[in-house]
A and B are shown apart, each in its own frame.
Chain A
Amino acid sequence: MKKIYLDYAATTPVDPRVLKAMMPYFSDKFANTMSLHQMGQVASDAVENSRKIIASFIKAKPEEIYFTSSATESNNLALKGITFANREKGKNHVIISSIEHDCVLESSRWLARQGFKVDEINVDKYGFININQLKKLITSSTVLVSVIHGNNEIGTIQDIKTIGKICHQKGVYFHTDASQSLGKVNIDVEKMKIDLLTASSHKIYGPKGAAILYIKKGVIIEPIIHGGGHEKGLRSSTSNVPAIVGMGSAVEILYKESKQENEKQKKLRDMLINGILKNIKGTHLNGHPVNRLSNNANISFPSIEGESLLMELDFAGVEVSTGSACSSRNLMPSHVLMACGAKPQIAHGSIRLSVGRFTTEEEIHKAIKIFVKVVNKLKQYSPFKV
């Protein structure tokens, strides 16, 4: 039985066209970009070509794009790099939203342990940040504001342009994690007043092992990985040439196809959401009904816990994801749903479904039927009546 993969937000398969573009860089054009011989130049040219493609896609300059290994690394570099470069100037305050990805959350907690002050901006029930609170939180000691663009769990898309404008006016750096939104929402770093931006290859049908941090020209940040001086000294490590070529190729496909693709995915996403909400009593959509990533659905099933639903769906051939509490140390559910004010039963019973490039209408119809069957089965054991 072919599985129905509804977890594209976790990671995407590599597009065959991307794989084809990568292949020569494993064994044939394998050289180190820092080597001075001609083969080294070939590898270096390939990396620079990817840099150009990606820069142009977000309206940046190629020299503003720095390659890293993952979005987690880019987010770590953004938060730690900016704060450490500015700590001597009495700038010791960082602001993040309460619905950031764990890598931003944990980086900011680490910064707090190093003596920086960290504040979190609250969100409303849809996950939109409180703009007035952001304005009030910024002081003369604030150095950085970091707000996720498209939320990885509930899909809510922030008004980045407004946030960027506020940060720009107040003279603080603005970083956004665009791992989930690249290719789904148009990004113009100039117009959106973004100083730093994270994006990742494996969320856009490229390989794992490549990501970028866009750093606006003139913004000084401290490297956290020291060594041979790759990426203009900001991120030493031998360049992962095949992965970087793959990311460039993946973005090239987005150029040509993302508009159509988003329309298609939005249709499938809504079909899935409506199918579940209509056919299963008591279900509830988390996040905003319209202003959400084109591929994301997050639904709560009030009488069933998320992990058991995920497991039973897996046996029935549907692969999804959950921010389930039951595997976390303190038994608390998703911090994102809790920040949005979800009650325990809603937060514990949530499932994230994400469609993608290879999802078909037939799969969605099939998935809805499987959901109904699985939920009815699990409800038999539940003490809750809904």
Chain B
Amino acid sequence: MYSKKTLQHFRSPHNYGEIKNADGVGEAGNIVCGDVMSLYLKMKKIGKKEPVIDQVKFKTYGCAAAIATSSAITDLVKGKTIGESLKISKNDIIDFLEGLPPIKIHCSILAIDALDEAIYQYLIDQKKPIPADLQKKHERITFSRNQIEERYKKWMTKK
């Protein structure tokens, strides 16, 4: 069911862990759905060039596909500028992993959401302008998070 590459990334994921003093942290997913992901970014500026993602790490609770897509996104964004990173789509992750089972496509969306959220927080902290697309994505992620929390409030807070 999983591709060889997905299994490789699940069994030996790249860049797991946390970054203290990260420049951007993005959270995506919800324990109700069984996936929770945090992505940490550390930026670096060399000379007059645009800053690039120098370090990236993840922490993920989820299935094998969630861990593999987390690992994949870290490989895909390392060394890229913010503009380049925002162009990465779920299909880039799926291609990178040489395919994902249809039922696991949502895991690639989880990774993209975490990346977008990390970049969003970085840009806000830097007081840089937020691209319209990113603003929209951030609002969608927040909206669906609130919706899930409202819907499963009783279950999540149960003693």
Cβ-defined contact, A305 with B11, below 8 A? no
Bound form: Cα–Cα A311–B35 in Å: 16
- B130 at interface (Cβ–Cβ under 8 A)? no
Cβ-defined contact, B63 with A381, below 8 A? no
Bound form: Cα–Cα A312–B65 in Å: 12
Cβ-defined contact, B158 with A312, below 8 A? no
Task: Choose one: A311, A344, A380; the contact of B156 (CB below 8 Å).
Answer: A344
- A326 at interface (Cβ–Cβ under 8 A)? yes
- A308 at interface (Cβ–Cβ under 8 A)? yes
Bound form: Cα–Cα A338–B106 in Å: 22
Cβ-defined contact, A348 with B34, below 8 A? yes
Bound form: Cα–Cα A308–B67 in Å: 8
Interface string of B6-49 (1 = CB under 8 A from A): 00001101001100000000000001111111100000000000
Interface string of A288-331 (1 = CB under 8 A from B): 00000000000000011101100110010000000011110101
Bound form: Cα–Cα A214–B70 in Å: 51
Bound form: Cα–Cα A307–B70 in Å: 16
Assess A326 versus B158: contact at CB under 8 Å? Given A304-B61, A345-B31, A383-B36.
Answer: no
Cβ-defined contact, B103 with A327, below 8 A? yes
Cβ-defined contact, A381 with B32, below 8 A? no
Interface residues of A, dominant DSSP: loop
Cβ-defined contact, A343 with B33, below 8 A? no
Cβ-defined contact, A326 with B62, below 8 A? yes
Cβ-defined contact, A324 with B155, below 8 A? no
Bound form: Cα–Cα A102–B33 in Å: 20
* Contacts between the two chains (Cβ within 8 Å), count: 75
Assess A326 versus B65: contact at CB under 8 Å? Given A343-B158, A382-B60.
Answer: yes
- CB-CB under 8 A from B103, the residues of chain A are 326-327, 329
Kindly report which residue of chain A lies nearest to residue B12, judged by CB atoms. Answer: A377
- CB-CB under 8 A from B73, the residues of chain A are none
- CB-CB under 8 A from A324, the residues of chain B are 34, 63
Cβ-defined contact, A331 with B10, below 8 A? no
Kindly report which residue of chain A lies nearest to residue B158, judged by CB atoms. Answer: A343
- B66 at interface (Cβ–Cβ under 8 A)? yes
Cβ-defined contact, A326 with B11, below 8 A? no
Cβ-defined contact, B104 with A326, below 8 A? yes
B62 to chain A, nearest CB (A): 5
Cβ-defined contact, B64 with A311, below 8 A? yes
Task: Choose one: B17, B34, B38, B158; the contact of A305 (CB below 8 Å).
Answer: B34
A-B contact pairs, 18 of them (CB 8 A): A305-B62, A308-B10, A308-B63, A311-B64, A324-B34, A326-B62, A331-B33, A344-B31, A344-B156, A345-B31, A380-B17, A381-B13, A381-B70, A382-B59, A382-B60, A383-B60, A384-B36, A384-B61
Known: A333-B34, A383-B37. 5 other contacts (CB 8 A): A305-B62, A307-B63, A325-B34, A344-B31, A383-B36
